[in-house]
Structure formats: C-alpha cells, structure tokens
Amino acid sequence: MLNSTWPIIGFNIFVLAMLALDLYLHRDNKEVSLRHALGWSAFWIGCAIIFNAIIYFFWEAINPASLLTNQEAALAFTTGYLIEKSLSIDNLFVFAMIFSAFAVPRAYQHKVLFYGVVGALIMRGIMIVVGSALIAKYHWLLYVFGVLLILSALKMAFFKPSQDIGDNRLIRSLSSHLPMTDDFRDAAFWVRENGRLLATPLLLVVIVVELSDLMFAIDSITGHLCRYHRSLSGVYR
C-alpha cells in the first residue's frame, strides 16, 4: 500500500519536468512545423494513455481511501480527458484569433502558448482547491456555479463578440498605460531603451492569452465541480 501523498508529488514533479523539457527543446524560438506539432500531440496523448493505464491497474494501491474502483477511476479520467480535449477546440480558435489580431510571428507563438499553459495550470489548480473547499462548506454555492454556467451558455448563444481584439476595453487600457515598443523585439517581453524599461507587444499577447485562460478556467472548473459533486452524491446514495 502506497502513501497517497507520494504519487501526487511524483505526478506534479513529472508535469514540471515535461514543461521544462518542452521549454528547453523550443528555446530557439523557431517556427513549429505541422509534423513537429503532430509528433508532440501524439506524445502527450501517449502520456495520458500510460497514466490512465496506471490508474486502471494501481488505483486502489495509490489511493486506498478512494470510493472508486480501479475501473471507475480509469473511466472517470478517460471521460474528463475526452471532455477537455473537446473543449480545447474552441480555445484553439480563440488563440488563433489573438495571434492574427496582434500579427504574432509563428516563431514566437509557442513561447506565448507555453506561458499560457503554465498560467492555466496555476489558475485551475487554485480554482479546484478553493472551489472544492467552498462547496464542502457552503453547499448553496453549487446553485451559484450552475447559474454561472447557464449565463455563460446564453452569452455564447446570443452574444456576438467583436472580431477586433483592440476593441476590448481592458486591452486598450493596458496599451495606453503600459510603456511599450511599437513592434516585436525578437521573443523578448521587456527591453531597455534610452534608460527606460519598455514592454513589447509580445507581453501584451501573453496577458490576453492569460485572460482567455482565466475565462476558460472559470467555465471549465465550474462544470467539473458540479459533476464532481453529483458523482459523489451518487456514490453516497
């Protein structure tokens, strides 16, 4: 029987190691080819399959206090993984629109997405911990989260967003108050010119991507928390 703390620590170390490896292999800021991108996608999907196999065969040893069997835990992971894969499609369209609006060179797009992934992991981790704790203490918050999901769906169905990123009030405010260069300076976020520290448009792109990640995280985590509570209710019944 394993201490359930160590697998969690090991998993987080593995994720951090893979992120560091990804950043190291793309340190030259070269344009990512389609073949290269497909190869990395296959690698990450393979990691998910291996992880799911570990859950299927060793879940009860890893987490003996769990209410789920090995098969149920593996199915839960597969379901969540496929849902997230499906939801990530709209993320791709949003990121493509952001890159197009800011005319981000292809060679710098991976760096922006990398920091977007790191930001998404941090924000979702915080929301999962805080949201789970709040729901455990205040059950009525489930209804608040449900209303947020409904409002988000209505907004997506009836509200047509502007195609111009520059129309966003927050982006205009950042652009006007943050000292910034007129163009990209390689893959740098900050440069020093004439004794002044200036941001580059690439930093603004990262901020926009992180704000998008925040919106995605709110919708996604809200839904996950509601499903998580429903599954536990079914187990306890």
Residue-by-residue pLDDT tens, the chain, 237 positions: 445 677 778 888 888 888 888 878 877 777 878 888 899 889 999 999 999 999 999 888 888 878 889 999 999 999 888 877 877 777 788 888 888 888 888 888 888 888 888 887 787 778 777 777 777 787 777 777 777 767 766 766 665 555 455 555 666 677 677 788 888 888 888 999 888 898 888 888 888 888 877 777 666 665 555 555 554 444 334
Read off the pTM. Answer: 0.67
The 3 state secondary structure assigned to 90-141 is HHHHHHHHHHHHHCCCHHHHHHHHHHHHHHHHHHHHHHHHHHHHHHHHCCCH
